[in-house]
């Protein structure tokens, strides 16, 4: 069987990948993301996932490489990872008492096979107080997450509802990835 490589340094993706019950390696894709402003959000998240997967695949073409990217979108505006506490506060204020979309793109590359796809979920937040936002920022959890929150951690207490796949919000739509990998592994 071909070696499977997860092209991500996300600890959450590492943990979720284990649920597939497959042996895999982790090679971090630390590329400079090239954002094409002409792309729709769904195409952009798949393009970014492709860039990450390809950065590893180009040097290891005998493997199966998985790349991911996650975007938080509200009012057609992308909230990435906050660059500092002040930006995290702005993001959390924007998300407060509103519904936003989370898109996770995935690319799977191996010799003779290339597939990019995405999953989307809608997340509604409760109304956040200034104190809640500041306390949450002090946990440092928002600093390395798209949209400045982690649904699987302290940020979970702000989530009123989810419409879609919970694991999409975590950045790894497990079922979709598993279904695609079955196609490759059963060839």
Active site residues: 69
Q: What token pair was written down for 182?
A: 């079955």
Q: Is the dihedral of CA 45, 78, 168, 26 positive or negative?
A: positive
Residue 147 · residue 100 · CB < 8 Å: yes
Instruction: Tell how far CA 111 is from the center of its chain.
Output: 24
Q: What Cα–Cα distance (Å) separates residue 36 from each residue in 42, 44, 88, 89, 156?
A: 12, 7, 24, 27, 32
Q: How far apart are CA 174 and CA 152, in angstroms?
A: 15
What are the φ/ψ torsions at residue 47 (nearest 5 degrees)? -65, -45
Nearest C-alpha neighbor of 171 from the set 105, 122, 76: 105
Q: Is the dihedral of CA 150, 125, 120, 78 positive or negative?
A: negative
């Amino acid at each position: 069987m071909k070696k499977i490589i997860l092209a991500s340094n996300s600890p959450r993706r590492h943990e979720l990948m284990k649920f597939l019950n497959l042996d895999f390696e982790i090679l971090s894709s630390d590329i400079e993301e090239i954002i094409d402003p002409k792309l729709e959000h769904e195409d952009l998240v798949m393009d970014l996932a492709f860039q990450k997967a390809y950065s590893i695949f180009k040097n290891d073409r005998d493997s199966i490489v998985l790349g991911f990217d996650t975007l938080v979108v509200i009012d057609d505006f992308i909230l990435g990872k906050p660059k500092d506490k002040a930006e995290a506060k702005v993001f959390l204020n924007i998300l407060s008492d509103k519904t936003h979309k989370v898109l996770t793109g995935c690319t799977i590359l191996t010799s003779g096979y290339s597939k990019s796809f995405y999953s989307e979920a809608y997340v509604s937040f409760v109304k956040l107080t200034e104190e809640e936002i500041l306390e949450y920022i002090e946990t440092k959890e928002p600093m390395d997450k798209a949209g400045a929150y982690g649904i699987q951690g302290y940020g979970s207490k702000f989530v009123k509802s989810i419409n879609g796949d919970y694991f999409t919000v975590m950045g790894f739509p497990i079922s979709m990835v598993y279904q695609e990998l079955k196609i490759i592994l059963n060839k």
